[in-house]
Structure 1
Amino acid sequence: MHLVPRLARRVPAVAAALCALTMLAGCGSDALAKKPPFPRSTVQAAKGMTDPSTDPGSGSTGSGKPVDPAFAVDKLRLVDPCKLLDADTLKELGKPDEAVPGGFTRCSNFMKDKAGKDLSITIEVGQTLTSEVEKADKKLAGLNSYEQVLEGSACFVTVITQEDPGIGITVQVGYKDGDGCEPGRKIAESVVKLAKGKAVARTAAKGSLITLDPCELPSDAAVADAAKESPRVYPYGLHNCSWVGSDAEVTLDFRGGYVPKDDKFDPKQVDVDLGGVKAYQVESSTSYPSCTLRWVQLKGQDNDGEVVEVKSAGPKKSEFDRCAKAQAFAKALLPKIPKA
């Protein structure tokens, strides 16, 4: 049975731009992630996305057509990112270590180069892209690609698999003692070739969230109730979606990875009964108040599992019961989620 591995780090869609290309930044719930053995690195967030009411974008989901049928979103959801880290290709760069999976879409290898120096490689499948699509000025394995070098020896090599909205596969290389982009290109070329084949596909377990489209799953009525009038849709990655209205928003996130002992995601959580499904609720009273519900969909061995997260939020001036909205949205969603 397929259950996603530990080290999962998913990112709520409304805050997606804050975590764009932060594959090593560790954005997301600490309870769903173990501390990674690599340094943090970030890219400047898109303007206005910390408060969706200031975002000038339309929230359009675009045409949704991949550059190649092999990279259709429904196919990318089934790609096992660790199978994209080809052992032979890694051996050309040095001495690989064991693959470290990270949720549904990420995998890392913290290896050594041929001189015994640290060389960390992380793949993210289905990365949400913004300006990278327009800035893509290179070609790798027949796809447009974009490279970004961060101060501190990190290089991101992104291949564009869909232009509207922008989706890609990103290879991040941490290499303090060399040019990280050079091995990044080699890995990216291998990744593209492997992603087109069937050998990297995985079979989802019964009741798994991995094949579900979070933007399509909720009913229009549930979205309208949670995000009020004419919300903009913000897909993020392959398993996260937000609906942002003028004074309220809701985010749906499917996460794979570490499930803490006794389901203790947050020390402040309280138990909530969603009509036979036990969920865990946490309120936040910041300048942008929110209420988050989580429940465990599947559990595997060694605390691996899959989790659904629903978050209702809105500016402080907007007075509504965020927890009531989150619970109503979750209850409307439950019948559409497959039973384990």
Structure 2
Amino acid sequence: MKYLVTGAAGFIGFHVAQKLIDQGEDVVGLDIINDYYDINLKYSRLQHHGIAKEKIETGLLVASSKYANYRFVKLDLAEKEPLLKLFEQEKFDVVIHLAAQAGVRYSLTHPEVYVHSNITGFLNILEACRFHPVKHLVYASSSSVYGANEKMPFSTSDSVDHPISLYAASKKSNELMAHTYSHLFGVPTTGLRFFTVYGPWGRPDMALFLFTEAILKGEPIQVFNYGQMKRDFTYIDDIVEGILKVADRPARPNKDFDPKNPDPGSSKVPFKIYNIGNSSPVLLMDYIHAVEKGLGKEAKMELLPLQPGDVPASHADVEDLVRDTGYKPSTPIDQGVKAFTDWYMDYYNK
């Protein structure tokens, strides 16, 4: 099987590519390597895969010096023609599309970036899968699409028509666009609504990274909603397991789909949406205590109100993912956070 993993220099994409490489699959990684956060971390992830920084800027496929079954290309998904050429050349079996402009708060100040990356970029992925058919397109959606919803746990059968950030709106748009291509062109698409993912090589803009950095410096951490937020924190290894289980199971039409009472998470065409999370929400203060334990150092806290675009709680209903794929997250918070803090201190020589 030949896989395209977009966002391969990103947190989740890096881990997905590594797992596929380890399984002996033929893998092409793709990333634009933008400067939303420290590009040195992105280059370090690629270096870990044997991709030399000095070769990346060519815009050509770069073979790994470490793995015979991995190549990487730097490409902006908003540029349609180079992407179509790549699909024509490589003839991918499965596309795992994880590239996106992330971040709820950043979307409040840089909305145009989300249209460029998450709308135009995703449209071009769909077009490539249309003209160069693949067995399955798996793409990253987000728990942010639940927006103003308060019924817990969040279910894919719930309406998600009330986003509270442009980031969330862009991800909801991706789901609608995918359904259109599944309907019109038979592209099998599965969207994964990620809940809060954490672990080694994580993103510097996320809470775990920020908490760890501040605690080690002896600086106060910003604790929003006065620490009363709950998040469905999910360890990266569990997320990767779920992604690959889904990738191996192309979306199929729901034979029980009722157009008079439509299920938002499935369709009469090869389209499916899953939540992918831990299904066990953790209070933010307990998460912080796990970081303190991992670092052996107490946190100073600045308690703040809920930020615009944030939701006070998230809780994933993953019953259909468990039923269909056997997905079973198993990493306890203390263990997962310790794995991150150990990686952080090693990577930054703390």
TM-score by length of structure 2 reads 0.26
| Greater percentage in helix | 2
TM-score by length of structure 1 reads 0.26
Greater RCO, 1 or 2 (C-alpha within 8 Å, sep 6+): 1
| Greater percentage in strand | 1
